[in-house]
Structure 1
Amino acid sequence: MISLRKARVADAIAIGAVHVAAWRSAYPGILPDAFLARMSVSRQAAFYDAAIRGGTGVTVATASGMDVPVGSGPRIIGFTTAGRARHIEIAGRRLGEGEVETLYVLDDWRERGVGRRLMRAAAAHLVDVGCRSAFLWVLRDNPSRWFYQRLGGRSVAEQTIQIAGQSVQQTAFVWDPIEQLLAASPQAS
């Protein structure tokens, strides 16, 4: 069974492990191999520990029951973080009030509706903190970028950022009004 819940501080290490695994899976050939190899679960865990303690909306997806080996407890298989937008405008264009900062799901759990459920949970959190629109950034060459379009996101801006000393393009997807994301149907993507 796959369930969603608000993250706890004790989840930080598992969240960090999902983050590192997702980047190592999604970004070979996009980001430098040496950078991906040096990624640290403990550094990511420290970041997410601080985010959870600081009130960022962190939601985890857990698998349990028949979806995990007999005798093991619930396992974190994905997560999302969301909060008020860090930057509302880029190049004079308004993006949105709320930002989905991260969405990562382990490879073995993709194509099972986990990402859609996490995105709707992020949108619900943003509504709870008063946001009427949402956006996120995704690396343009990320093979999963079309997922956001299938959820009704509109590509509205691009920008170049630096990761590990390398220039990469990222694309902003927007849901305005945010209800478009809240209503995203599991069957639609």
Structure 2
Amino acid sequence: MLTHLRPALVMLVLFTALTGLAYPLALTGIASVLFPWQAGGSLILRDGKIVGSALVGQNFTSPTYFQSRPSATSAPDPNDASKTIDAPYNAVNSGGSNLGPTSKALINRVKAAADAKREAGWTGLLPADALTTSASGLDPDISPENALLQAPAVARARGIDAAKARDLVLAHVEKPWLGFFGEPRVNVLLLNLALDAQK
């Protein structure tokens, strides 16, 4: 029996060291040298302080800012650990709602989001990313259509010209990678930082 067990244990230790330690450390080292900003979390600094990451969305609630896409992330309820509460953009608990298209809870949530957007002054056809969550719940980007629909309301709240807000959105549209991988998008944090810089 020992003759069979010894090679199995040796292989277990060897592959654990190789795939669990050496390979991740090598990749982390290479990434840190070749892509230091991305490997460090794509952190965005303003006045020497970290204000966020280009890869993780934030929950902007003020009408003077462009709003991120809805987030379905949650956190433990401080009053009852067996339950959860909504915690938008909680990077510790990434995940979607897992509600199906026929779910009454999903239909009610989307309807409530649409009603809130209409009350805030949004007009026209509402893009899907303005009403639905992403799979991770942490998406930092919205569609250009979503951002352009928000521009008049943000301009009103800030007391600036609507054309200026629209131009700012158009200046922050990121094209698909290599021209065809992905969709055009707008990073909400970068857009809001540019909005603040215009004061």
Task: Identify the TM-score tier after normalising by the shorter chain.
Answer: under 0.3
Relative to total residues, which structure has the larger helix share, 1 or 2? Answer: 2
TM-score normalised by structure 2 residue count: 0.22
